[in-house]
Amino acid sequence: AQSVAQPEDQVNVAEGNPLTVKCTYSVSGNPYLFWYVQYPNRGLQFLLKYITGDNLVKGSYGFEAEFNKSQTSFHLKKPSALVSDSALYFCAVRDRGYQKVTFGTGTKLQVIP
Amino acid sequence: DAGVIQSPRHEVTEMGQEVTLRCKPISGHDYLFWYRQTMMRGLELLIYFNNNVPIDDSGMPEDRFSAKMPNASFSTLKIQPSEPRDSAVYFCASSSHPGQGVYEQYFGPGTRLTVT
């Protein structure tokens, strides 16, 4: 079985400050990990993924995420938040042996001008 | 590529009516997924196909729901009869095999279904 936890329903951050959106996961094997963003009335949009290799992965719009195997975490980060980053963010996990992806419950990011 | 295409974007129907949602995946993708998103339950996987064959339909809520994929470029999700609790946003997503370097799913814009 695989699962994802996003412990924060909402994260508020001031524009220009660094942001972190937390995610922890559980899989029986080695994971593929993903972050998606959803803007209002839109579909989910892929941001970045961890497949293998370097634990720090970089994605679209200046976002990055760090894979931590010992803590089973994959937190999303950005050095300087923009108001336009305000959206709903989903973490997702997939066991390498399967195609089925499990999504977290989502974290609403609010960037305050 | 135009991305994943879904139609209609909005559907309002009365309880008891049949509803058909449509999806065209990205060309060359051999996996297709149907999801439902609600405030209460979040994002739920309903069913997914590989090479037009249903692989896992364990998320389909009940027999009123059915999905087909008659060819590689088209899939439908049908609800018959519809009920108010089916009101949600339904997403279609497609993906390919890691051997082709694609690990992530690409989502369509969704169909917002309202059953009155």
pLDDT in tens, A8-19: 999 999 999 999
At B2, the pLDDT band (50, 70, 90 cuts) reads confident
Q: Which residues of chain A have pLDDT under 50?
A: none
When pLDDT is averaged across residues B9-31 and rounded to a whole number, the result is: 96
pLDDT at B3 over 90: yes
Contact across the interface for A100 and B45, Cβ inside 8 Å: yes
**Residue A111 contacts residue A15 (beta carbons within 8 Å):** yes
pLDDT at B107 over 90: yes
User: How many angstroms away from the CA of B21 is the closest CA of chain A?
Assistant: 15
Q: What is the pLDDT of residue B1?
A: 65
B27-76 per-position pLDDT tens digit: 999 999 999 999 998 999 999 999 999 999 999 988 999 999 999 999 99
- Dihedral sign, CA of B97, B57, A42, A17? negative
Q: State the Cα torsion A106-A109-A110-A111 to the nearest 10°.
A: -170
When pLDDT is averaged across residues B3-28 and rounded to a whole number, the result is: 97
- In 3-state terms, what secondary structure has residue B39? coil
Q: Can you tell me the distance from the alpha carbon of B82 to that of A90, in angstroms, rounded to the nearest whole number?
A: 29
Cβ-based burial of A31 (10 A; exposed 0-12, middle 13-18, buried ≥19) = buried
Q: Counting every residue, how long is chain B? A: 116
Hey, of B4, B6, B29, B43, which one would you mutate to test binding to chain A, going by the most A CBs within 10 A of its CB? B43
Which residue in chain B has the smallest CA separation from A90? B43
B100 phi, psi to nearest 5 deg: -100, 10
Contact across the interface for A43 and B91, Cβ inside 8 Å: yes
Q: What is the pLDDT of residue B46?
A: 97
Higher pLDDT pick, B2 / B49: B49
Which residue in chain B has the smallest CA separation from A103? B43
Q: What is the pLDDT of residue B58?
A: 93
| Average per-residue pLDDT for chain B | 94
